[in-house]
Structures are given as C-alpha cells and as structure tokens.
Structure 1
Amino acid sequence: MFFLHEHDCQMPTQIEKIQAHSSHLLDTFIRLRERYALVEPLLFDEYVVQRWGSGRRARGFKILKNSLFLSCAQDIAKLTVDDDDRTPSLSNLIRALADDSLRAELKAQYASWKSPFVEEERDPLILEVIRQWELREKAERLEQFDVLYFEATHLWEKLSTSELIKGFRIIRDKVTAHTEVRWVVDKYQFVDVGALGIKWRDLHAVIGDMQRLVELLGLLIRCAGFAWEALDTQLEKAARDFWSNPSS
C-alpha cells in the first residue's frame, strides 16, 4: 500500500491547464498538417493525379483521397469548435482568454522578460541603462500582447462563423464520427458532402487561418513561437518523397 503526498495530487491551476491545452493543440494541429501534406498532391499535383489516379489504381486513389479529406475535415472541426472542457480546441482557448483576470496574468507573464546580463553586470551606470531598456521593452510587450489578442479574437470571429467551418462540423457530426441518413423525397440518403459547398481548395485556406490562430495562442498563453517554415520544408519533402516515382 502507498499514499500520495498532498503536493502529488494538487489540481493544475487555470494557467497551467490552458498552457497544457495550448501545447497539445499545437501537437494535434501538426498531425493535421501532416495528413494534409499527403492529400494535397492527390488534389492539385498533375503528376501525382496522372500517375496514381488512372488505370487500375484509379479506385484506390479515389478511396485514399476521400478518406484523407474526411480525416482532415474531422480534425478541423475537432480543433476549432469542440467545446468539451477536456478538449484542447481553439474555441476553448479563446473562451478562456476572455476572462479578464486570467488574461491580465498572461499579459504580465508575456511582458516579464528580463535581460540575462543583469546578474553578471556590476557597473551601476550600465545597470541603469539595462533597467531603462527593460522598462521600454516591457511597455512594448504589453502593447504587443493587446495587438496579438485583438488579432486572435477577430480572426476567430471570422473563422468560427464561416460557412466552411459549419460544413466541416456537419461532416464530423453526421458523416465521420456518426453516420446519419435523411429522408429526401421518397427515400433515406446519406448526408451529401458535395452539397455542403466545400471545395478541395478550402482545406488549404481554413488550415492556414487555423495555423495563424494556433501561433497567436502559443504566443499569448505560453510566450512560445514555432518554426513553421521548417515544418513546411519537412512536410513538402515527406510528401514529395512519398509520391515520387519509386524507381527514381
């Protein structure tokens, strides 16, 4: 038999919770980017479409393309509008940031950067110069936090109310996570994904908006950026290597 010490079972603070959710949101979004990297050539790369989408491979090509598309659509809905408190979603994090006291704490954290040279410096004149510089830096970072938060809330308002997000949510709720049939004219039919007004190219646009929001939330909540250009390079190479001629 063993006993937990009191500090071992303490609940995380609200700040710790949303920081963890922001980190998990980034990880899950990267997995979405990985899936989209593989499906994008199936949609827009003429070489891949001609090589893999015709002849005996045509049916398998279509199955794979549709499956990856639906998987991406489900992830988009999950990462944007899922409102379960346990889910690291854009909706939940934006709602958490609407709390004035929590946002004030995060803002203070964002602005609290200090020069690493202060502890080593002994000259009082140089220390005063560093102190004045830190004060200016803090003021700029306080203002920057407000600018980033303004951008995040306005981008979220645009994204969350878009018809595309509504369409992706219908795909998640009625096609992928659950299968729904509707009475149409004189018979039951599956939900027609084509009737939702979503085009292949809409995946790229929505994922781009989501990426900017994930980036903004990482800065606001964890004071952390991400090397998106390096990820782009890695995923482009992974997709190119996967769909290239295996004999080359």
Structure 2
Amino acid sequence: MSALDVFGAETSVARYWVQLQVRDKLVGGVPSSASVIKGWLKSRMEIGDRDLQELTQKTLAERFPDRQPSADELAQALLESDAAPSINGFKRIPDTGELAFEGRCVKAALKEWANSAYPGTDWDGKTTTKPQVGRPLPKGFRKGLMSTLAERVFIPEVYIGLGVKEPSGVEERIKHVMTAQGPRSSISRVEYVDRPVLTFEVRVHDDFLPLQAWARIWERGEDIGIGSDRGRSDGKFELLAFDRITS
C-alpha cells in the first residue's frame, strides 16, 4: 500500500536504471565491526607483520606471561588494547554477507556532483514558464540544484551489492590533518574492492532535469569519484548506463 494506492493518483516519479564501473578501487568508509578487525589482526600475525610486533610482544608480556596463547586469544587481546587498530570498510547485506555500498551514500555523491556542476542557482532546464521535461518549477523558484536534488531525487536501495563477500584487500594509508596542536599524521586502514560494478535505481520526482543536466552531473561525478579517499583519486568510475524505466 502506498500514497498512490490510497488516493488513486498517477505517479509523478520518473525511474532511471543506473550502472557504473569503478575504474580502480572503491574504498570503504564505515568503521568495521570487532570481528572484522580481529580477523585482520589474525591474518597479519600469520604473515609476521612488523608493525604489529611491538604491540604483540607487549600484549604477550602483560596478558600471557606464563603461556603461549592461541592466535584467536592473542587477536582478542590485541583488539582490547588501547593501541588496537581501526579499519574502515563496507557494510554487509543481511542474510547474504555480500559487501555493499549504501544508497544514502550515492545520494550524497549526487548532491556533491550537482553542486560542483551547477554551483549557483541556475542549471540547464531550470525555468519558471516552459519546462523542458516533467512539470514546471514554481514561479520565482530560487533554490540551487543541490538543494532541489535533495528534495526530489532518491535512491530506493538501502544496500547496493558489490558482488563479493570479502574485500580485495586492506591498505594502510597516512592521513595528514591540522589540529589545535598543529599538523599531525596518523595511519588509517581501509578496506577496498577492485573495480566493482554498481547497479541501482534513481527516482526523480517531476522528472525536472533534462538529459543535458544529467550528462553534466555524471561527467563531473566520473572525475570526482565515489566512496572514501576520493582525494587520492580512488573511486573514479565510468557510467555504463542511465536508462529510463518505462514499466
């Protein structure tokens, strides 16, 4: 049951099927669960990661002075330490465990690209008298495209599957930030998936944007990228399809 069913009205929503191919790495930005971090610690211990050596020896001396713990026990002890690593990654689709990119993140990206493509209050197709597509915007409509898109464009999928159940890898990256105490550097760890294909739907109320505007937005998106660490040029993609759904 929906509002259209209740009122017996016709929909004013246009639906588009979108598919894009990430060119290199899609980087996750969601803090990982303890189980994911624990698994990463165990795998790094197995290959003798130098960065974990000091923390491992300290933990062994403090927590297990009289015996050699199992890999699982040691990983749990490392996880509970003050120096435990953090890993940003992806959410997983319930029931299947497939890694996923969130629909809300796609909408946030669309807003960013739209603001970059049309930073003012005018955009291709905006009119108060004779709309090119859909329905006319109100006379004197003054909002910019980013604000208008936020109210009229939606991604129905909560999770967009990436086609894999495990990341392609975990990378350590140096972050440079400015704090009240001056510039600081830190190491962050991120999950990434190599060259995933994302397929999802875009719902547009009143179909207010002409294809000329959509082309400019997606072109800007291809260069800005999607996902985390876009400043390192991760997440750049190629748009494969933007097709109106007629059924």
TM-score (norm 2): 0.24
Q: Please identify which structure carries the higher helix content.
A: 1
> More relative contact order in 1 or in 2 (CA 8 Å, sep 6+)?
2
More strand per residue: 1 or 2? 2
